[in-house]
A = this chain, B = another copy of it.
Amino acid sequence: MRVAVYREEHFNAAHRLYNPAWSDEKNDSVFGKCNNPNFHGHNYRLIVRVTGEPDPETGYVIEFKTLSDLIKEHVLRHFDHKNLNLDTPWFRNLNPTAENIAIVIWNILRKQLDNRLDLTVRLYETERNFVEYPAA
């Protein structure tokens, strides 16, 4: 009788995609306009899914506000209105593609949740480009 609980949050950040081991030409050819040296940015839409059994006394798997506060404290505080490449420790040596950002957020939140709860992270880079980790 497992129920999935979803909470959507948003953060606005700058980033740049490139591989420092590559030439400028190769970076341009692979990452195109996403490799702009002065960065560009997105309104990232983040949907966190937590799965478990509802507590019989409250009817909650996890309270929406509790989940929202966890995301704000452990993700948004570090990501919102930041430059992902320059202002956060996670993307010093990791390209901030949507795939990698979703994996980083999953690793951050996984540590904050009880083991009986499962976790999935969906991240929208734009309305039409998005990722989910782990894939079902």
- Min CB distance A112 to B, Å, is 19
Provide the bound-state CA to CA distance between A19 and B4, in Å: 22
What is the total number of copies of this protein in its complex? 6
Query: A38 near B: Cβ within 8 Å?
Result: yes
- The answer to whether A102 and B3 touch (CB under 8 A), given A81-B36, A127-B8, is yes
User: Which parts of A83-128 form the interface with B (CB within 8 Å)?
Assistant: 83, 86-87, 94-100, 102-103, 118, 125-128
- The answer to whether A1 and B103 touch (CB under 8 A), given A34-B81, A40-B14, A126-B12, is yes
**CB-CB nearest in chain B for A44:** B43
> A125 to chain B: which residues have CB within 8 Å?
64
CB distance B42 to A41 under 8 Å? Answer: yes
User: Which parts of A17-71 form the interface with B (CB within 8 Å)?
Assistant: 17, 19, 21, 30-34, 36, 38-43, 51, 54, 57-61, 64-65
Q: Is the interface of A mostly helix, strand, loop or mixed?
A: mixed
CB distance A57 to B19 under 8 Å? Answer: yes
Query: A78 near B: Cβ within 8 Å?
Result: no
Where the two chains meet, the residues of A that have a C-beta atom closer than 8 Å to any C-beta of B are 1-10, 12-15, 17, 19, 21, 30-34, 36, 38-43, 51, 54, 57-61, 64-65, 80-83, 86-87, 94-100, 102-103, 118, 125-136
